[in-house]
Amino acid sequence: MRRIIVHAFDDAGFETRMEAAMAFARTYDADLTIMHIRPDFTSVGEPYAAGLFTGAAFAEAEERLKADERKFREVADRLLKGEDVTYDWEIRSGLPEREFAREGVLGDLLMLSPLKDDFSGQAGDTFVGRMLANATCPVFMAVSARPKCLDDGRILVLWNGSDEAGRALRAALPLIDRASDVRILSIGDVPAGRPDEKDVASYLSRGGAKAETIKVPSSGKIGDQILEEAGAYGADLIVMGAYGHGRLQEMLLGGATQSMIRQHRHPVLFAH
């Protein structure tokens, strides 16, 4: 792991994801890129823009943006002071999901926070969902400052045989190698012709990791089942593919990804 990208925004989760990113950086000797996306006031139709600005209105909006940027930059600088972590800042204008997707091509991990009660700006459901759906590197949803999965935690891998689940599994290998216990969970049947949970355990054994497998019937409420299984297992990390059935379908019908971005009990490593 060489580069961790942190979403910089003045929201309640910023300090937690900064500290989680620093913990990853120390563990894997990685660099941090702290990245903030400003609204583009010159682009009509941008969902984060307030419209077209001219003259004094534009200047006033610009000053507010700069004040907000100074605030969360001070937070980051305070957290990083005295830490042996190499970092750089990126401030861009445009759509967050588009800019993070461009940056993620050369990133190993994107650090986000779960959905907050504030549905505005860069903290709500639309933002988190679009970031995941457009991600070009694995996404870590931080719920605590020092993720236990960096030590010797218990990792629950959600498996449905999809390409997204496979990408998430491979992204989690450095953490699986450190884990004290690994469980592969399948809910319902894996599609015919796709690798099942026992194939995953066999794959992990090639690197020396031992994994327990468990298969449970689907109740139709996958998100609730995942949280129930994760709680009973004491999972320190959930690993899963994101939007395996398409983001629009999940938002309309409810799905595992939507459930996981709303919960704050377990960190989640997603891949799309």
- Please tell me the distance from the alpha carbon of residue 153 to that of residue 149, in angstroms, as a whole number: 4
Side by side, the strands of the sheet bearing 87-93 are 87-93, 31-38, 3-7, 109-112, 139-141, 268-271, 237-241, 154-158, 181-187, 212-216
Instruction: Give every CB contact of residue 202 below 8 A, 6+ residues apart in sequence.
Output: none
Show me where the domains of the chain are located.
3-141, 148-271
Q: pLDDT per residue over 207-254, tens digit each?
A: 999 999 999 999 888 999 999 999 999 999 999 999 865 554 444 334
Indicate the CATH number of 3-141 among 3.40.50.10490, 1.10.150.120, 3.40.50.620, 3.40.640.10: 3.40.50.620
So what's the pLDDT on residue 249?
A: 46
Identical fold for domains 3-141 and 148-271, yes or no, is yes
Number of H helices, E strands in the chain: 10, 10
Q: Show the low-confidence residues of the chain (pLDDT under 50).
A: 44-50, 118-119, 248-254
Tokens (6 digits) for 159? 């498996």
Q: Helix 14-28 to helix 55-80 angle, to the nearest 10 degrees?
A: 50
DSSP at 147: -
pLDDT tens by residue, 69-92: 888 888 889 999 988 899 999 999
Say which CATH superfamily domain 148-271 falls into: HUPs (3.40.50.620)
Residue 44: the pLDDT is 44
Q: How far lies 96's CA from each of 17, 101, 130, 180, 190, in Å?
A: 17, 8, 9, 36, 34
Cα dihedral 152, 26, 159, 221, rounded to 10, equals 90
Hey, is 5 helix, strand or coil?
strand
- Map residue 25 onto helix, strand or coil: helix
What's the pLDDT score for residue 69? 85
